[in-house]
């Protein structure tokens, strides 16, 4: 199945169905995984000692959370062994290392586990360099205070100047940049979310 994963339009659905079947078939001391209604790629198991094992799937990668030395910890180890009977896993550590990166996010842990930091320097660098503003002067606010963004700011196609401006805008990947900003604001930079929300209102 993994060999079909890339390039075949039907592969993502087929692979998700296979992964879903594996989650639903696994049982640990009477506990089973439940698929999240909010996000079908998240599965949660509540063990008999009230510990929780959560697993987030993205294509063929997963990020799992549980408290050490609990039923969820044992359930996770059993689940990895169960997955090995169905898939060839690349991870030789059975996933027992702290996550350091996932979906472009960097994850930094305190030595005592008291805090965790999530940031996205590579995504931000890619956005800045791709936009050609890497030499711009930094600002502390995402948009100048009081900035209003309205449809009337768009080119007026009834004028020659507006048509020229519209042609120029066609060469600017505005929607792509807003999409990148939405991802960054949602994950690690909530301070820019209000500005990004305003920018996204004129994507058309």
Would you say how long the chain is, in residues? 204
Q: How confident is the model at residue 4 (pLDDT cuts 50, 70, 90)?
A: low
Q: Which two tokens stand for residue 200?
A: 């996204």
* pLDDT score for 70: 94
Is the pLDDT at 79 greater than 90? The verdict is: yes
DSSP classification of residue 156: -
Which pLDDT value is given to residue 1? 45
Contact 199, 181 (CB under 8 A): yes
Instruction: Kindly state the percentage of the chain with pLDDT values over 90.
Output: 42
pLDDT per residue as tens digits for the range 93-118:
666 788 888 888 899 989 887 899 99
Q: Give this prediction's pTM.
A: 0.69
């Amino acid at each position: 199945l993994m060999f079909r994963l890339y390039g075949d339009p039907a592969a993502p659905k087929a692979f998700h169905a296979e992964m879903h079947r594996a989650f639903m078939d696994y049982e640990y001391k009477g506990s089973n995984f439940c698929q999240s209604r909010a996000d079908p790629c998240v599965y949660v198991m509540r063990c008999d000692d009230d510990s929780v094992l959560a697993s987030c799937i993205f294509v063929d990668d997963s990020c799992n959370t549980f408290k050490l030395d609990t039923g969820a910890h044992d359930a996770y180890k059993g689940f990895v062994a169960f997955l090995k009977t169905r898939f060839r896993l690349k991870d030789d550590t059975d996933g027992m290392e702290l996550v350091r990166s996932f979906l472009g996010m960097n994850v930094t842990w305190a030595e005592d586990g008291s805090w965790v930091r999530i940031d996205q320097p590579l995504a931000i660098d890619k956005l800045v360099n791709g936009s050609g503003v890497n030499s711009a002067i930094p600002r502390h606010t995402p948009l100048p205070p009081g900035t209003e963004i309205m449809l009337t700011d768009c080119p007026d196609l009834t004028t020659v100047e507006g048509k020229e401006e519209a042609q120029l805008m066609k060469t600017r990947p505005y929607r792509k940049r807003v999409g990148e900003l939405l991802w960054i604001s949602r994950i690690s930079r909530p301070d820019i979310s209000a500005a990004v929300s305003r920018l996204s209102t004129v994507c058309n």
